[in-house]
Structure 1
């Protein structure tokens, strides 16, 4: 089944070991520092990184608007894969990690239920640009973490 017309995907090689990248994705006090597009801050309310675990957060927009988010983890393979289902709008996020020595390849895909949902989210919320900004923020955060 072809899903390209209803998914966003981005790849990035980070100049950071896989252990650090994994921590940035799975520890609430770390992910809060980089999650969300430019100008947004994030409050993590609950982050239970295990199959069936809930992840609740609020993204705070630059204009003061709050965006509550809720996801359920579907698959966790330490240092390899994170899959979660996001609700309202509904999509499945799959993040793959591959160690390349002192660097880490990350492949991040958001798969929407329908092509219409995909188009609505990309048009209304600029999800494609937000995803790119999120990855840039993660890259910068990892660089700063390594220098601590």
Structure 2
């Protein structure tokens, strides 16, 4: 399993973990292939327009999330570390600023654990978003679950 790429303290991070009943390689594919990622990224009801997706260390992911009722949210991130199929780490260059580390751990041939860490500069910044983000991350993982089911069928 990949080690932590970012150094932090528990009060500066939001961690969401889920076990998926799919192989680790498929889970990583859902994160690393924009054809799949655009279908599930974001809370329930959001859609995405990807402007650039350069999946390599130093590459950029530039996209707009479209809210279900209103609002377009521009996002720009830079991939800092990719260890296929174990780790993806990036830095956000758009507000709110934080880093992300996603780790993929094989439990069995057909089961994998995803740990998604959002890492903030300060505990205050983390606390501001925590009340909104925790439930939204679960919605995001629900959407990922549905995309994985589609991927298996195609």
- Distance in 2, Cα, partners of 1:65 & 1:2: 32
CA spacing shift, 1:43–1:2, aligned 2, 3 Å: closer
Give the alignment partner of residue 90 of structure 1, picking from 97, 103, 113: 97
Deviation at 1:147, TM superposition (A): 2.3
- Mind listing any 5+ residue stretches in structure 2 that lack a counterpart? 1-6
SS at match of 1:32: helix
Residues 15 and 143 in structure 1, CA contact (< 8 A), matched pair in contact too: no
SS at match of 1:118: helix
Give runs of aligned pairs for residues 44-59 of structure 1, distance below 5 A: 44-59=50-65
Give the alignment partner of residue 135 of structure 1, picking from 136, 141, 145: 141
SS at match of 1:96: strand
Q: TM-score, normalised by structure 2?
A: 0.89
- Distance in 1, Cα, partners of 2:140 & 2:8: 26
Deviation at 1:66, TM superposition (A): 0.1
- Mind listing any 5+ residue stretches in structure 1 that lack a counterpart? none
Deviation at 1:2, TM superposition (A): 6.1
Residues 8 and 119 in structure 2, CA contact (< 8 A), matched pair in contact too: no
